Amino acid sequence: MASKALRKRLNKRSDSKPSPSNSSTMPASWPPHLNNYRKTSVIFSVLLILSVFGLLGVSSNMWRNLKHDAVSTPVYSIEVVNEFPHDPQAFTQGLLYAGNDILFESTGLNRRSSVRQVALRTGKVEVLHEMDDSDFGEGLTLIDERLFQVIWLKKTGYIYDRNNLNKLVKFTHQMTDGWGLATDGKVLFGSDGTSTLYKINPQTFKVINKGIVKFNGHEVHNLNELEFINGEIWANVWQFPVLACIDF
């Protein structure tokens, strides 16, 4: 598997996961100095790319390799076409547009995670499902009437009814962790913070296929939030201002 290109992000988000070593002592309130760094609006690109970050940084060696290899690779900018209000306290980890000016959002942080339905133009939270204190919400995607969500540091996830956000099912997946989630409407695509991308059966949650994402021979680690766009998987690379466009 190879990445077609790395597209430069113009608007870096502040949504970041705490280190695993600190997860058991996560304070109920996020530190004020990081709150000041969070953006208070949702930025929409031409292709509605709304990505969030993952857990640990990519090694400095890998980043040097990516920058070196990208010299001969076209770099595409992103045009911001609009901005909309958004809850600045929402630690966004998964976000999707469901049509009719409706967003579904998965927020993280232990004791503060939620799944919510949000009005796009006003930022108002219209439906809220508060998660268990031990769950750190992560990637979110929608197939028909069901929302699928994975949980950080766990091999479990949940299915919700999109109409009222009632929790329907708890499931177990075969990834090493829960980071990003996307769909083409038939299967799930998942990431776990490594360089591996997974194709998952949404009925059994068994891995159908998986592959290592590489760019010019180098593994691209810390793949995070995913989007399915025109037959390709677009992945946010945690801690670096790039998106990986992946053939899978």
The pLDDT score that the predictor gives to residue 66 is 53
* C-beta neighbour count of 226 within 10 angstroms: 28
Domain containing residue 223: CATH number:
2.40.128.630
Count of structural domains, the chain: 1
Say how far apart CA 134 and CA 113 lie, in whole Å: 9
Backbone angles phi, psi at 211, to 5 degrees: -155, 160
The pLDDT score that the predictor gives to residue 32 is 35
The pLDDT score that the predictor gives to residue 49 is 36
Give the torsion sign (CA, 42, 45, 50, 56).
Answer: negative
Q: Which two tokens stand for residue 171?
A: 């499931």
Q: Would you give the end-to-end CA distance of the chain in angstroms?
A: 7
Sequence-distant (≥ 6) Cβ neighbours of residue 28 within 8 angstroms: 111, 112
Say how far apart CA 194 and CA 180 lie, in whole Å: 11
The pLDDT score that the predictor gives to residue 17 is 61
Say how far apart CA 211 and CA 92 lie, in whole Å: 27
Say how far apart CA 245 and CA 110 lie, in whole Å: 31
* C-beta neighbour count of 75 within 10 angstroms: 11
The pLDDT score that the predictor gives to residue 187 is 98
pTM above 0.85, yes or no: no
Q: Are 96 and 102 in contact (CB under 8 A)?
A: no
pLDDT mean values, one per 10 residues, the chain (248 residues): 36 42 35 34 35 36 52 74 96 95 97 97 98 97 98 98 98 98 98 98 98 93 95 93 89
Amino acid at 213: V
Query: What is the extent of the structural domain holding 73?
Result: 3-246
Q: What angle do CA 125, 130, 131 make, to 5 degrees?
A: 140
